[in-house]
């Protein structure tokens, strides 16, 4: 379950509303990896302790050392560019709990409605600038889950019509997500996004047109 590490991502996406950052993102954004891509072999000299650490980390993840290193470097190459372009603030989960605890729920929902549509539009434009398309399901999994870490998506492969967004950030975070996603969904559909939620998840039912 996602450990509510997504505050960094929240500030990244919030700052996307600043026009000066959009120009910088368009100029540095890397292409999104695709399944059929070329590969090559490189040799690097590494400390013995680092090599042993990579072996142990790969075993913990249940993947090969090659896959572990490739995934790790791929994320650093892509994410570090965004980090350098967009200022952000890191908060511990406990700090986030205190911030949310002192926030009016109605205010959180208003912020979600304000940011959702604009941020999704900008994310789609960023993808289009590197020749890629970004649908609503992809936005949830590729941006808000994998990169921003707002939640952990369940059901994307087994039941693409029903997605569950799990987190450990409490009811107020779910309220924010509900309004944010409602607003974002309006970018791609005039249909109403069906949602249920509690203090640990938001469940979505997507219409056929938005299922991958």
Given this model, what pLDDT does residue 2 score?
A: 53
For 22, 202, 209, the CA distances from 122, given in Å and listed in that order, are 8, 23, 21
Q: Which residue has the higher pLDDT, 138 or 75?
A: 138
Given this model, what pLDDT does residue 25 score?
A: 43
Burial 179-202 (b: 16+ CB within 10 A, else e): bbbbbbbbbbeeeebebebeebbb
**Mean per-residue pLDDT of the chain:** 79
Judge whether 149 and 79 are in contact, CB under 8 Å.
Answer: no
pLDDT in tens, 196-209: 999 999 999 988 76
Query: Is residue 30 pLDDT above 60, yes or no?
Result: no
What are the E-state strand segments in the chain? 152-154, 162-166, 194-197, 201-205
Reported confidence tier of residue 188, pLDDT bands at 50, 70, 90: very high
Q: Which range has the worst mean pLDDT, 58-67, 73-82, 184-193?
A: 73-82
pLDDT in tens, 86-140: 556 777 778 888 889 888 999 999 999 999 998 899 888 877 877 778 899 988 9
Given this model, what pLDDT does residue 131 score?
A: 78
When pLDDT is averaged across residues 41-59 and rounded to a whole number, the result is 91
Residue 190 tokens, joined: 């005039």
Q: Which residue has the higher pLDDT, 89 or 85?
A: 89
Given this model, what pLDDT does residue 80 score?
A: 56
Given this model, what pLDDT does residue 176 score?
A: 95
When pLDDT is averaged across residues 162-177 and rounded to a whole number, the result is 93
Dihedral angle sign, alpha carbons of residues 156, 171, 195, 181: negative
Given this model, what pLDDT does residue 59 score?
A: 93
Distance of alpha carbon 208 from alpha carbon 103, whole angstroms: 36
């Amino acid at each position: 379950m996602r450990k509510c590490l997504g505050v960094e991502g929240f500030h990244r996406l919030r700052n996307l509303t600043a026009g000066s950052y959009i120009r910088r993102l368009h100029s540095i954004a890397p292409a999104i990896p695709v399944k059929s891509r070329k590969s090559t072999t490189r040799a690097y000299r590494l400390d013995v302790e680092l090599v042993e650490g990579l072996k142990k980390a790969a075993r913990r993840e249940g993947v090969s050392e090659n896959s572990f290193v490739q995934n790790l470097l791929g994320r650093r190459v892509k994410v570090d560019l965004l980090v350098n372009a967009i200022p952000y603030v890191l908060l511990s989960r406990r700090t986030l709990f205190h911030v949310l605890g002192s926030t009016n729920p109605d205010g959180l929902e208003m912020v979600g409605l304000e940011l959702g549509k604009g941020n999704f539009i900008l994310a789609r434009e960023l993808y289009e600038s590197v020749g890629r398309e970004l649908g609503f399901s992809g936005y949830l999994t590729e941006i808000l889950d994998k990169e921003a870490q707002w939640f952990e998506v369940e059901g994307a492969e087994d039941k693409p019509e029903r997605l569950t967004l799990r987190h450990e950030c409490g009811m107020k975070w779910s309220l924010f997500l509900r309004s944010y996603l409602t607003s974002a969904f309006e970018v791609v559909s005039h249909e109403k996004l069906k949602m249920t939620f509690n203090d640990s998840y938001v469940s979505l039912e997507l219409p056929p047109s938005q299922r991958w």
